[in-house]
């Protein structure tokens, strides 16, 4: 029995030793790309952070390691550490990482000026390219920045440029929603209705456009039309623009639709 136990201990010791050697290899000596992919796959874990730290030590100019390591911190809301890493990635390779940096500043920090600075710098580095930071048209994102700054005229110019970039039928439907919101804020209610209708021409299930139409029609005294569109906004609320991690600048909520509907009924 004692011999059997000794054998088991030896086997477990060998297995542990082998596992340790394998982990040491993958952590410090495997090909750079393989280690990056492994660390990316287990993003946010102690192992991942350790592997990125080793990669940065071995390859101090490896911008992707700084970028990918920053993602976990930013997802957790630790923006100080996240942007320390992201800023280093931008420093090393601005063409690759400026777009994400600007996107993060817009969507996470509401740092509109910082986001615009990143987008404008990226644009200057890629003069013959229409950039798409994090998969979104750069002029759409700049329009959102100016919308957030309440500079509605500039927002309109960038949203219109985004439509030119992508063509009317392919532009993000919320480009038209934003145009309607901008015209509404400027007091151009009939123009805002026209812009919201462009969104609804793409899809009749855009609650933000119906809600905007309802508010614009209320302003022009067309109460029945306002009631029609507020009902459609309520019916299509499940299709609203939303994201688990971000609150959009034009995001709407059921409670405000119901409150507006009640006010219409009482008018």
What pLDDT, on a 0 to 100 scale, did the predictor assign at position 185? 98
Mean pLDDT of the chain: 89
Dump pLDDT digits (tens) for 117-174.
999 999 999 998 999 999 999 999 999 999 999 999 999 999 999 999 999 999 999 9
Reported as a pLDDT band with limits 50, 70 and 90, residue 14 is very low
User: Would 93-168 and 172-267 be classified into the same CATH topology?
Assistant: yes
Architecture of domain 172-267: Alpha Horseshoe (1.25)
Overall average pLDDT of the 217-244 stretch: 95
Exposure of 243 by Cβ count < 10 A (0-12 exposed, 13-18 middle, 19+ buried)? Answer: exposed
Percent of the chain at pLDDT > 70 equals 89
User: H or E element: which one contains 161?
Assistant: helix 152-166
What pLDDT, on a 0 to 100 scale, did the predictor assign at position 16? 46
- Contact call for residues 50 and 24 (beta carbons, < 8 A): no
What pLDDT, on a 0 to 100 scale, did the predictor assign at position 38? 82
What pLDDT, on a 0 to 100 scale, did the predictor assign at position 41? 78
Report the SS3 class of residue 123: helix
Reported as a pLDDT band with limits 50, 70 and 90, residue 107 is very high
Architecture of domain 93-168: Alpha Horseshoe (1.25)
pTM: 0.86
Instruction: Answer whether residue 3 shows pLDDT above 90.
Output: no
Token pair recorded at residue 109 = 């920090």
Extents of the domains making up the chain: 93-168, 172-267
Q: How many CB atoms lie within 10 A of CB 249?
A: 17
Instruction: Report how far residue 257's alpha carbon sits from residue 234's, in angstroms, rounded to the nearest whole number.
Output: 7
Token pair recorded at residue 170 = 């392919």
Overall average pLDDT of the 253-266 stretch: 93
DSSP H helices in 76-219:
79-92, 94-104, 112-125, 138-148, 152-166, 173-185, 189-202, 207-219
- The residue among 221 and 43 whose pLDDT is bigger is 221
């Amino acid at each position: 029995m004692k011999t059997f136990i000794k054998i088991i201990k030896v086997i477990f010791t060998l297995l542990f030793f082998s596992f340790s050697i394998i982990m040491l290899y993958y952590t410090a000596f495997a090909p750079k790309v393989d280690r990056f992919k492994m660390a990316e796959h287990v993003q946010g874990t102690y192992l991942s952070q350790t592997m990125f730290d080793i990669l940065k030590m071995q390859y101090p100019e490896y911008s992707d390691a700084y970028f990918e390591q920053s993602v976990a911190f930013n997802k957790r809301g630790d923006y100080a550490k996240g942007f320390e890493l992201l800023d280093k990635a931008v420093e090393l390779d601005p063409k690759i990482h400026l777009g994400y940096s600007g996107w993060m500043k817009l969507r996470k920090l509401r740092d509109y000026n910082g986001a615009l600075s990143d987008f404008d710098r990226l644009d200057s580095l890629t003069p013959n390219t229409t950039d798409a930071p994090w998969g979104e048209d750069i002029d759409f994102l700049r329009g959102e920045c100016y919308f957030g700054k309440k500079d509605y005229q500039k927002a309109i110019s960038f949203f219109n440029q985004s439509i030119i970039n992508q063509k009317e039928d392919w532009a993000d439907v919320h480009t038209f929603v934003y145009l309607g919101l901008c015209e509404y804020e400027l007091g151009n209610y009939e123009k805002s209705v026209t812009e919201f209708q462009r969104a609804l021409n793409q899809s009749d299930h855009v609650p933000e456009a119906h809600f905007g139409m309802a508010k614009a029609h209320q302003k022009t005294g067309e109460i029945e039309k306002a009631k029609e569109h507020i009902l459609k906004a309520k019916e299509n609320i499940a299709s609203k623009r939303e994201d688990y991690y971000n609150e959009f600048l034009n995001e709407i909520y059921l409670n405000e639709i119901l409150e507006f509907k009640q006010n219409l009924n009482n008018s």
